[in-house]
Structures are given as C-alpha cells and as structure tokens.
A and B are shown apart, each in its own frame.
Chain A
Amino acid sequence: MQQDHPINQPEQQHSPEHHADTVLLPEPTPWPMVLSLGLALSITGMVTHWVVSLLGLVLTLRSMVGWFFDVFPHEKHIYVPVQAGIIEITSTRTTRSQLPVGVDHRKLIPIETFSVTAGLKGGIVGGIAMILPAALFGLIRYHSVWYAVNLLAAGGFVHWAGESDAFLAQFHLYGLLAATAIHGLTSILIGLLYGAMLPMFPRKPILTAGFVAPLLWTGILYSALGVISPILNARIDWLWFVISQIAFGLVCGFIVNLQVKVRTPQFRALPFSVRAGIHSDQSHKEDPSHKEDQ
C-alpha cells in the first residue's frame, strides 16, 4: 500500500500520462468555512454588538474574493495518485437454488397485464353504465332522475342532512357538479383497480369483475358508509345499489378485457425460445388462453 499524497498542480501543467495514475479532484479550500463564519457573525451582531457584525462583514468580503479566485480563471484542482489493484467482488454464498416449479404450481405474477389506460377506459365506461340503474331507481321511486345524483352529492353538503325527499328530487347545479366529481373520481379509481386485478384472476372474468368484486365493494361500503356519508347511509336502497354495482362491474370488466395486454418484466425472464413463440411455456400449459394460442 502506498501513501496517497495529493499533488498540487495547476491543471494546465497536467500531462496526458498523469491521467493513467492520478485522479483530478477539487482542491481543499478554507473559503466556504470562512464565508459561513462571516455570514453567521454578520447576523450574530444583531443579538450581540455591531462590532461582531463588522467582523463578519470583513470575513464575508475576504472569503468571497478568496472563493472567486478558487474558481476563476480556472478551477483549482489537485491530482490524487491512484494505486490500482483488483478488488475481489465475490459472494460467500452460493447462487440461490431454484426450486423446481411444477406445471400446476400457482403463478402469482402474470407475464401479461393491462396498461393503465385500460383501467381508465373501463372506469369511465363502467361509470356511465352505472348511471342507468341509478337513474331508473330515482325515476321509479321518486319520479326524478336527480334524486340519486343529489343523494350522492349530499355527502359534501352538510346542510342537506335535514332536507326532504322532494328537495333531493329537484335539480341542483352544485349537486350535479359534486356528484359528477365524486362519481367520476371513484369510477376511475375502481377502473384502475380492475385493470390491475383482472390479470391475476384470468379464468372467470365475468364472475370476478361482474359479481365478486361488486359484492365485495358493496360489503365494504355497507360497513363504512355510516362514517363516510351518514346522509347517503340513511336513504340508500341497497338492492338498487347492488344492481348499479353489478352494472358497473360487468361493463368495466368487459371494456378492460377488450384491451390489448402488455407484457410485464416477468415475460423477459422466460427463455428466448418461449418469448419468440418457438416453444411453449410449460408452466402455462394449463392456462386456457395459452391453449387458444397454440
């Protein structure tokens, strides 16, 4: 091991052969420290004595000049000699052992998934589909399509808590805007969730998207709606709510499944012959969609 002494040399005197065994680094300098001390003393004078500020000002100006000449006309550097050698980059552990994976082994990470836009599209169209049963509910029960709109918006308007059904059956611009924001945001978020989740349950998309997910979502809301929107909780008709959810789920799931799938990084880990379509991926032998491909 050799002593590593920095060599002070101006940059312009540096010869090309130096590059092989030295590294260029910024030269140490006291001026940043002196400048910070100067600035600190300058304002310390505000709580001690003006002479302290004066001293700080002097240090500040001197260090600014010093710093200036550190970088102009040429930035000062030092050449640090490098003692080259080989460092062993080895592991004390053996390579991880790959457990044999049976063809029926559950595969958690899909090799194909939907893009984000698929979820967005599904959410938007599903949200529009959901409006139909909700409006139908309002028409049949209260003879107004605005009832469901205002009921959804009521969560944001505390003073609507005591309003009558007749009031909620009327058109209110603020109610429409609030309901549109709430419904639009929620639909898009749920659509994104569908886009992310559907590839994980590829076998029965209609069952998963159209029935299981809406019923789960309804169950969660049933227990939480009292906190989220007491007004909605007091007036909601759960049968119609479930019908609306199923309408959303079926349409959203259908739209998402229509989109072209994109390959995940997991796909790149497959052997080239599988990726090129020359050989089939054995672990996917049971996948019905794969059978179709074959």
Chain B
Amino acid sequence: MATPVMEAIDQTQSPPQGPPRPNVIYAWLTTVDHKKIGLMYIAYALVFLLVGGVEAVLMRIQLAIPNNHFVSPQVFNQLFTMHGTTMVFFVGMPILFGFGNYLVPLMIGARDMAFPRLNAFSFWISAFAGLLLYFSYFGASGLYAAGSAPDVGWFAYAPLTAKVFSPGHSTDYWTLAVFLSGVGSIGTALNIVTTILCMRCKGMKMSRMPLLPWLYLVMASLVFVAVSPLTAAQIMLTLDRYIGSHFFDTQAGGSAVLWMHFFWIFGHPEVYVLVLPAFAFVNEIVPVFSRKAMFGYPAMVAASVSIGFISLSVWAHHMFTVGLGPVGNTFFVFATMVISVPTGIKIFNWLATIWGGKVIFATPMMFCVGFLFQFLIAGLTGIMLSAAPFDWQLGNSYFVVAHFHYVLVGSILFAIFGAFYYWYPKVTGRMMSETLGKWHFWLFIIGFHLTFDFMHVPGLLGMPRRIYTYEAGRGWESWNLIVSIGAIFQAAGILVFCYNMVRSYYRGKEAGHDPWDAWTLEWSTPSPPPAYNFAIEPTVNSRRPLWDLKHPEDPDSDYE
C-alpha cells in the first residue's frame, strides 16, 4: 500500500528501458552520469583485480617449493612490483571510487556529482594510467632489454630508482602511471567532498547523513593531503631521471630517506583511504542485516574523523629500521598505537549493533562478519609491529606481508565483496545467487586463512619479503606450500564470484527496488535507478528516512 508520505521520496516508476542503441559504446565513452562512471570504475578495477590476482598466483607458485625456477628472478621482481602497484593504485582506489561515485549522490538525495565532467575526466585519466603501466610490458626498455615492466618494488625506494641502477624506461612507466593516477584521484576526491558538502537533499543535516557519505568525506579529504606529496615526489623523481637533478641521488647530495618520507606520508594514509570506504560498506550492511539502527552513530563519525587526523601522523612507522632516533621512534610508536583507539571504538560499535539484533546471515552479512574478525586480527598484528623493537626484528619479513594482506584482503576485500552482494540488486535489478555467494564466501575465507594465517610463520622464522627463492632446510618449506595452496582456494572463490555476477545479470531473480528492506535513500529508487535518480528531491527527517516511511508510528526522528 502506498501512503501519501511515500510520494515525498520518489514517484519514479521505472528505469529507462528500450531497444539497445547502435551507439551504446559512444554513450558510455561520453557519459557524465555518476552511476555509469561508477560502474566503469568498478569494471576497470575488476579487470585489474584479475590481472593482479594472476600475478599473485604466479608468485605463490614460484615460492611454493624451495629452489624453484618457475619464473626467472627478473620476472619475479616485475611480478611483485606490478602486483603491488596494480592492487593499490588500479584496483583498490578505483573500485572504492566507483562505489562512491555510484552511491554517494543516491544516498544524499542528489541527482549527480557536483562536477560531472570532472568526474568523467578523473575516471578516464586513471584508466589511461593503468593502461600506460601495463604498456611497459611491450614498450619499456628496462634493465632486462625491451619489453620490461617496472621492477623496483611498489614503493620504489631510492637509490634503486636512479638512472644508474634502473636504466631504460621501466621505472619511468611506473612513475608516470602513478602520477597520472594521482591526478585522477585528486579530481574524484574534489568531486566527492563538494558533492557531500553542497548537494545534500532537504533535511539532511550533517548529523543525519548516512555513515557511508561521512566516511567518503573523510577519505576524500585524506586523498588531498596524502596523494599530493606522492605526486610531487613523482615529479622530483622524473626530474632526477630526465634532467639530472639530485633530489634522491645520494652521491650528489640528495637523500634516499627523503623519498621514503614522501612515499610513506602518502603510503600510510593510503591504507586509511582504502579502509575507510570498507568501513563505510560495513556501516551500511551490518545494521540492515541485524535489523537494528547503527549503535553509536556520533561515536562512529568522531572515530572516523579521528582516524583521518591520526593517520597523517604515523607514516614513519614504516621506517623504524632506517634509524629515526629515540624521539622519532617514541613519537611514531605512540601515534601508531593511539590509532587503535578510534578503530577499537568502531569494532565495539559494530559488535554492539549486531548484539541483540535479529541477524540474517545473507552473503553480504557473512562477508562483513569475516571482515570484523579479520580486521581485529590485522589490528592486533599492527599494534605488534607498531612497537619499534618488534619492528626491528620483523621489518621486511613475511610477517609484515601477512599483516598488511590481513588489512587489504581480509578486511578491505571482504567488505568490498559484501558491498557487491548488497548493492548488485540496486545496480542491475537482479539478485545475485545466494548459493553461489556462499560458495564464494567459504572458498575465499578458507583460502584466505590458509594463505595469510600461515604466512606469519615463515616471517617469524626470518623469511624476508621479495625473496626470489630459498634453500631447503630452513623450516620454511611446508609453510610456504600451505600458503600457496591457499592462493588456489582464493582464486577458485574469485572465479565463482565472477560467474555469479555474469549469471545473475541474465538469470538472477528480479530484485525490486528494496530487496533487503533497507533504510537509506538509494533503496527508494527503482533498480537500476533512472538517469536523474530522484524525480522529486527527497526530504528526510532522520538518518533512516525509509524506516520513518515504513514505520510512521515509530519514526527515528523522535529519537535523534
């Protein structure tokens, strides 16, 4: 039954549907619609996710047994460089920008992003950056002759990047691709901040805004501060390599440590640039599948903003082994440990939201529960590594690799998968298969724990990261074999996920506009939403406008 109050939200009946146009490709190339741009971001990131995943599997085959020569040392160096660069710059950021592009305007009741043309520009320049990076496999003349991908590691420490140690153009491809990607990131961040601050619908005060836009606001603000030094550093490195300046040339008065500072003042906030949107997805999914309002909304906002600020003062914990001195060590140990306070608040609030709720273990919720558990473990190993003496022992070991993959895969990727299952019905109008979704979840979580739980052990036993192969008899063999077997499970899970997405698009159950009985504005539009999102600008009175409409006898506005 429709009630008059419902009309205030949306009167749109259906999305535009008709015969396919002959110029569909042109329409996608020229679109400025935030939803289409968001989907292009996501599709492009998924392609690179597969590419980066294949690189990871190749590395794990190489390391599965001792004295292996499945790939050459040169190729192995390229694999870990390209894997890291791809996953951070061309999977993590684009996929999260894609979700932000799609969801932020819908959740705040806007018709588009603030600068639609800048939005398209930001996407395309990021996309061309990814293509430029991979063109190095064909076009670069690096240390290993023609067709040489970058091989200096994803953080490209000086002086390895100097022309004398890295001749040819492979490092230039890396520098220029990351530089271009940074331009796109800053453009999208500008769009997100402006959209959230200026285009909220009537009644949506900041204190009534859903948590997802809140976290995207913090994340986009962090991008301004974090990406700019990286972009500056890329320009300095390019000047070093092309016109012989000496910013990072240690033999001519430059400083290799300066590069470290520039890179990590980007690199550590970047972790939070990636994880804050993951938090945002969990913030939306957990309440809906617990059938409760989010516990401690103001504390969650405050914790997110705190994380944003504190994350700017922890970068040098990546450099404890450089030798910072007692004052530097003490400050960065303290700052790093302090960041566990707001993240702890978040974990407790998610648990409190689930606590006493009527929990529905649909696939999105299962991924979020996996996220909660794994993010906790990632945080605990993070606190261990934040203690400088511990880091001196285990810096640059596989323990560190296991820790940050617990963050990037166990936390961020799990939340992203949850988001896919949650919002896929809104984007396509079809439900994803729950059966295949659960297959995906179980295969992936088993694979994840086989790989990254056991990866801590060779790290503790002294196995350094980026090592090409190793001698038998060091006690690392069986651990590495288990780790590699886990990668196969994860790959199988990803294949099930891809199949599920394609199959559900054609044969999935009709979703309707609100399949999860959710509470935020995007679920008041048809699935998929029309180009204009809302026929009439919505008006909201609480943080859960659809709850108010569904339950006028007990609206949230009475409590906020």
Partner-B contacts on A (CB < 8 A): 1, 3-6, 23, 25-33, 35-37, 39-40, 43-44, 46-48, 67, 70-71, 80, 82-93, 95-96, 156, 158, 265-266, 268-269
Contacts and interface: CB of A to CB of B under 8 A. Distances in A.
B29 A87 contact: no
B118 A32 contact: yes
B172 interface: yes
B121 A1 contact: no
22 contacts: A1-B14, A1-B17, A4-B531, A6-B531, A23-B535, A26-B117, A28-B32, A32-B32, A33-B29, A33-B121, A39-B125, A40-B125, A40-B132, A47-B140, A47-B176, A48-B139, A84-B12, A86-B2, A86-B13, A87-B524, A91-B550, A92-B517
Contacts of A23: 111, 531-532, 535
A88 B30 contact: no
A48 to B, nearest CB: 6
B180 A90 contact: no
A33 B517 contact: no
B121 A36 contact: yes
Contacts of B200: none
Interface stretch (B244-252, B411-419, B551-559): B551-559
Contact of B2 (A1, A88, A158): A88
A44 B132 contact: yes
Interface string B186-218: 000000000000000000000000000000000
Interface string B130-150: 011001100110000000000
B1 A30 contact: no
B514 interface: yes
A85 B169 CA distance: 59
Interface string B471-491: 000000000000000000000
A87 B517 contact: no
Interface stretch (B3-11, B372-380, B452-460): B3-11
Given A40-B129, A82-B12, 12 more contacts: A4-B531, A5-B16, A23-B532, A27-B32, A32-B120, A40-B131, A44-B132, A47-B176, A89-B9, A89-B550, A92-B517, A95-B553
Given A82-B532, A83-B12, A96-B554, A43 B180 contact: yes
A47 B6 contact: no
A269 B558 contact: yes
A35, A47, A71: most-surrounded residue (chain B CB, <10 A): A47
A268 B559 contact: yes
B124 A83 contact: no
A59 to B, nearest CB: 11
Nearest to A82: B535
B549 interface: yes
Contacts of B553: 95
A3 B16 contact: yes
A44 B14 contact: no
A87 B513 contact: yes
B94 to A, nearest CB: 14
Q: How large is the interface on B (under 10, 10 to 19, 20 to 34, 35 or more residues)?
A: 35 or more
Given A23-B532, A37-B124, A39-B180, A28 B11 contact: no
B526 interface: yes
Interface in B5-46: 6-7, 9-18, 26-27, 29-33
A88 B27 contact: no
B173 interface: yes
B12 A26 contact: no
Contacts of B7: 86
B120 to A, nearest CB: 4
B403 to A, nearest CB: 21
Contacts of A85: 11-14
A4 B530 contact: yes
A84 B13 contact: yes
A47 B330 CA distance: 43
Given A82-B12, A85-B13, A87-B526, A33 B30 contact: yes
Contacts of A95: 551, 553-554
B124 A28 contact: no
Nearest to B519: A91
A36 B125 contact: yes
Q: Which 8 residue pairs are nearest across A and B when measured between Cβ atoms? A: A4-B16, A85-B13, A40-B128, A32-B121, A36-B124, A36-B125, A32-B120, A23-B532
Contacts of B125: 36, 39-40
Nearest to B560: A265
A33 B12 contact: no
B270 interface: no
Given A23-B535, A29-B117, A43-B180, A88 B1 contact: yes
Contacts of B121: 32-33, 35-36
A43 B176 CA distance: 7
Contacts of B3: 89
A133 to B, nearest CB: 28
Contacts of B242: 46
A127 B144 CA distance: 66
A25 B18 contact: no
A91 B124 contact: no
Contacts of A27: 32
A40 B133 CA distance: 11
Contacts of B14: 1, 83, 85
Contact of B531 (A40, A80, A90): A80
Contacts of A3: 16-18
B61 interface: no
B268 interface: no
B128 A36 contact: yes
Contacts of A268: 558-559
B508 interface: no
Contacts of A83: 12-14
B332 to A, nearest CB: 15
A74 to B, nearest CB: 14
B266 to A, nearest CB: 20
B311 to A, nearest CB: 21
A274 to B, nearest CB: 14
Nearest to B17: A1
Nearest to A49: B139
Contacts of B222: none
B326 interface: yes
Contacts of B136: 47
B163 interface: no
A25 B128 contact: no
Contacts of B13: 1, 83-87
Nearest to A21: B535
Given A37-B124, A47-B176, A83-B14, A32 B117 contact: yes
A25 B532 contact: yes
Nearest to B173: A47
A190 to B, nearest CB: 15
Nearest to A37: B128
A91 B291 CA distance: 12
**Listed residue (A48, A90, A268) with the most chain B CB atoms within 10 angstroms of its CB:** A90
A1 B135 CA distance: 45
B455 to A, nearest CB: 28
B381 to A, nearest CB: 18
Nearest to B180: A40
B546 interface: yes
Given A33-B120, A86-B2, A87-B13, A28 B30 contact: yes
B116 interface: yes
Q: Point out which of B9, B11, B16, B238 has the most chain A C-beta atoms below 10 A from its C-beta.
A: B16
Nearest to A83: B13
